[in-house]
Structure 1
Amino acid sequence: MANKKLKVSNVPNLRFPGFNEEWETKKLVDITIKVNSGKTPLGGEKAYKASGVHFIRSQNVNNGRLQLENSVFISESTNAEMKNSVVQANDILLNITGASLGRSCVVPRNFKIGNVNQHVCIIRFKDNYDPRFVEPIMASEKGQLTFKSLQTGSGREGLNFESIKGISLDLPEIKEQKKIASFLSLLDERIATQSKIIEELKTQMQGFHKKLFSQQFRFKDSNGNYFPDWENKSLLEVCQKKSSNLSANKIEDNFGKYIIYGAAGVLKKIDFYEEENDYIGIVKDGAGVGRLFYCKEKSSVLGTMDIIKPLANTDVYFLFYLLSNIDFTKYVTGSTIPHIYFRDYKNENIEIPSIEEQTKIADFLSSVDTKIDNEIHILHKLEEQKKYLLQNLFI
């Protein structure tokens, strides 16, 4: 793949060998045969069927993929009444209203037939224009900024067909379009596979968690014997709570090497820390109340969080997984700003094994967590690679 400056100006930074022609700038209206959306069928949701013709809504168009797992259907007769919005294989579907505005996908080659509602736009191309080349442009940062600039309505929440048709695209000849599209499709498949690996690991983790804490699965000691029976205790008997008085304003101009956690996770790094050892942070005020974080040594939390620390004979990793089993929503108070207080959940009944079995459980579950984190890291690298390619394979 070449990465050099050419004499011609209208070319991308990266090109596959064998392609030298300058790209042409064209409007979407000049390279398409259809740009329109559908409508809600007569009768609304009452017209939906258990089977029939797929009726595609904005939630089915999800970041490069047509997701039909939770789709609804309309009858053949209703589809015939809405013939102007029949979806075909290789169409681009673009969400044009609401929070998902700008999301797009290419309809798979093996797709049979479907229809769309008024929130999804069908874009169908003329010959010599590859939708799998154009869709990544729409999904790119540049494409999303274009859609944002074209929004109309009192709340700037919609795209109209004329503005979509007027979008300018820089396009190579069809062979180069297909080369780029094929390459990006392979990368998308790798990203999809990596996402599936992560979801499967998370599902496995849920299963392990359930079986270990219900004692369907027990570890044994070095002699092959089960550890002692688990004991019934209150949460107060295995951990203690500590408060923080740090506010975001207090550390606004503070920078350093020590992590401070907030309601969404790592907030920033500052030049001091309040906790010497690992602990659990729990959001006690506002959005995300009850959310747990495993917090590493030499760190701090904001005052909107409490610090939960293990008492003697309690493994901190095990305590984190134990707390993950508790439904903290039942302890939430306050309607405007929700809160949870340790005094309310400290008497939660729990079952706890010996420290030796706690360590076994914690080591096992943390190894699965580490595996998930490693796979997520790989996914982020693939996504970064795609972002770089989108910035450099296109104009």
Structure 2
Amino acid sequence: MAVPKLRFKEFDGDWTKSSLINLAKDKSLNNGVFNDQNKVGQGYKLINVLDMYIERDIDESRLSLLDLDLKEFERNKVKFGDIFFTRSSLVKEGIAFSNVYLGHSQDITYDGHLIKLSPDLEVTNPSFLNYALKTSKVRKQLIQGGKTATMTTIGQQEVGKTTIDFPVLDEQNKIASFLSAVDEKISQLNQKHELLSQYKQGMMQKLFSQQFRFKADDGSEFGEWEEKPLNHYLYTSKLKNKDLKFSKQEVLSVSGELGVVNQIELLGRSYAGVSVAPYSVVEHADIVYTKSPLKSNPYGIIKVNKGKAGIVSTLYAVYKCKDNIYPELIDYYFQSDLKLNHFLKPLVKKGAKNDMKVNNDHVLTGIVSFPSSLEEQTKIANFLSAIDQKIEVVAQQIEQAKTWKKGLLQQMFV
């Protein structure tokens, strides 16, 4: 009996199985228009590959523009309820990601890297269909339909023969409405997370430009800030893994997101003695700086390690804090875009391959402006840390909501 594990009580009976092609109004799928980069910036709104990977249905306000002649546009005009699939992906698991257009504009077309299915609206709710396409059962079929060479690609035929199970239209509408409410909750949490992040960035700018200052616990004003080279507060760590005896250790690496240090545990490898290169060892509150900057941040990253001790590769410099600085204050200082650029730009040198780098020892000569009072330093760091805690709580709520939604998709569909 084809029924889901979790179901609204007013519905019963088996669900119907169908191929996607048979759910299409015209029993066909179509590819979109050629995205000529010389014609972008004006014309018709264009749905593209990136619009397939957002949490909600296609957001019309995000769409780019593409100039087309009227005949080509009419052949590729997007209507309410149209479903789109990505045709190619660098990884097999990314093939045939889908999304749905639920608006009513008359000026939207779609990219040639997408496949379009216009569902029969008398048979299926397009929002329900889009949710069904994200279940593991259907995703598995789509992934298996991909053909891998340099990239993984999927054609109209493979998408069309993919099968789904669906109930009567009233039950589809109820499921789609419920899951849309879950998506709305996730969207609200994402907006809250973004607003808190913007607030934090704004407060960092005000605090480190001294537009806003705290007072001492006794109500008095703190003294003037000092401009000093960074070596007034930090010194280079000489601690190497060859100096230690251990069989397993965490390794710190910089991710593609600016300012984030990931901790990756490598199991089954020995770092004892000199069996591997003498990588630097990072302890709690040490400052990590990458000597091989990311494209997104050509001036390097300075980040406080807040976790366990770890090892960093020779691409990193590690600094230790002196007693006159609160470590987290440096972390927040360099999270501020204004301060990061102000501090590091004068230190940037062109490398042998014309790449822009900052020598790790040269970093210590950069000028920073900090409170001389550890009490004021601590107040600033604790204030920003409290905002971070709120941001983290919302981030956890987002992940919990996404996990809940994922479970619903598995239980509310056959």
Match of 2:236 among 227, 232, 241: 241
* 3-state DSSP of counterpart to 1:12: coil
Contact map agreement 2:282 2:312 (CA 8 A) in 1: no
Aligned to 2:96: 102
1:1-395 mapped onto 2 (5 Å cutoff): 8=1, 10-33=2-25, 34-40=28-34, 44-48=36-40, 50=42, 52-63=43-54, 64-74=56-66, 78-99=69-90, 101-126=95-120, 127-152=122-147, 154-243=149-238, 245-246=240-241, 254=248, 261-264=252-255, 265-268=262-265, 277-285=284-292, 290-296=300-306, 298-304=308-314, 305-324=316-335, 325-327=339-341, 330=348, 341-354=359-372, 355-395=374-414
Q: Residues 254 and 13 from structure 1, CA distance in 2 versus in 1: closer, same or farther, beyond 3 angstroms? A: farther
Question: How far does the alpha carbon of each residue in 1:334-393 deviate from its partner, in whole angstroms, 9 at most, with x for none?
Answer: 759997542121101111112222111111111111111111011010011011111221
Contact map agreement 2:293 2:301 (CA 8 A) in 1: no
For residue 48 of structure 1, report the CA deviation from its aligned partner. Answer: 3.8
Q: Give the residue type in structure 1 aligned to 2:12.
A: N
Q: Give the residue type in structure 2 aligned to 1:24.
A: T
1 CA distance for matches of 2:350 and 2:39? 40
Q: Residues 74 and 65 from structure 1, CA distance in 2 versus in 1: closer, same or farther, beyond 3 angstroms? A: same
2 CA distance for matches of 1:152 and 1:346? 52
Q: Give the residue type in structure 1 aligned to 2:399.
A: H
2 CA distance for matches of 1:67 and 1:339? 39
For residue 93 of structure 1, report the CA deviation from its aligned partner. Answer: 2.1
**Higher deviation after alignment, 355-364 or 301-310:** 301-310
Q: Give the residue type in structure 1 aligned to 2:364.
A: K
**Higher deviation after alignment, 228-237 or 259-268:** 259-268
Name stretches of at least 5 consecutive residues in structure 1 with no aligned partner: 1-7
**Higher deviation after alignment, 326-335 or 166-175:** 326-335
Q: Give the residue type in structure 2 aligned to 1:102.
A: A
For residue 333 of structure 1, report the CA deviation from its aligned partner. Answer: 5.1
Contact map agreement 2:142 2:162 (CA 8 A) in 1: no
For residue 180 of structure 1, report the CA deviation from its aligned partner. Answer: 1.4
TM-score of the aligned structures, taking structure 1 as reference length: 0.83
Q: Residues 363 and 147 from structure 1, CA distance in 2 versus in 1: closer, same or farther, beyond 3 angstroms? A: same
Q: Residues 238 and 142 from structure 1, CA distance in 2 versus in 1: closer, same or farther, beyond 3 angstroms? A: farther
Q: Residues 246 and 11 from structure 1, CA distance in 2 versus in 1: closer, same or farther, beyond 3 angstroms? A: farther
2 CA distance for matches of 1:336 and 1:13? 60
Matched-pair identity in % = 23
1 CA distance for matches of 2:85 and 2:283? 51
2 CA distance for matches of 1:215 and 1:176? 59
2 CA distance for matches of 1:182 and 1:284? 50
Q: Residues 182 and 297 from structure 1, CA distance in 2 versus in 1: closer, same or farther, beyond 3 angstroms? A: closer
2 CA distance for matches of 1:244 and 1:331? 27
For residue 181 of structure 1, report the CA deviation from its aligned partner. Answer: 1.1
2 CA distance for matches of 1:55 and 1:242? 52
1 CA distance for matches of 2:284 and 2:98? 46
**Higher deviation after alignment, 123-132 or 65-74:** 65-74
State the Cα RMSD in Å.
3.3
Name stretches of at least 5 consecutive residues in structure 2 with no aligned partner: 256-261, 272-280
Q: Give the residue type in structure 1 aligned to 2:375.
A: E
Question: How far does the alpha carbon of each residue in 1:20-53 deviate from its partner, in whole angstroms, 9 at most, with x for none?
Answer: 2122221011111252122227xx3343453x53
For residue 102 of structure 1, report the CA deviation from its aligned partner. Answer: 2.9
* 3-state DSSP of counterpart to 1:94: strand
2 CA distance for matches of 1:377 and 1:39? 40
1 CA distance for matches of 2:86 and 2:154? 9
Question: How far does the alpha carbon of each residue in 1:169-218 deviate from its partner, in whole angstroms, 9 at most, with x for none?
Answer: 11122222122111111101111111111111111111111111122222
Contact map agreement 1:56 1:115 (CA 8 A) in 2: yes
Question: How far does the alpha carbon of each residue in 1:149-186 deviate from its partner, in whole angstroms, 9 at most, with x for none?
Answer: 22236424322111111111111222221221111111
How many equivalent residue pairs?
Answer: 377
For residue 244 of structure 1, report the CA deviation from its aligned partner. Answer: 5.6
Question: How far does the alpha carbon of each residue in 1:235-292 deviate from its partner, in whole angstroms, 9 at most, with x for none?
Answer: 1111123256459xx98x748xxx65333412139899x6664333333458688344
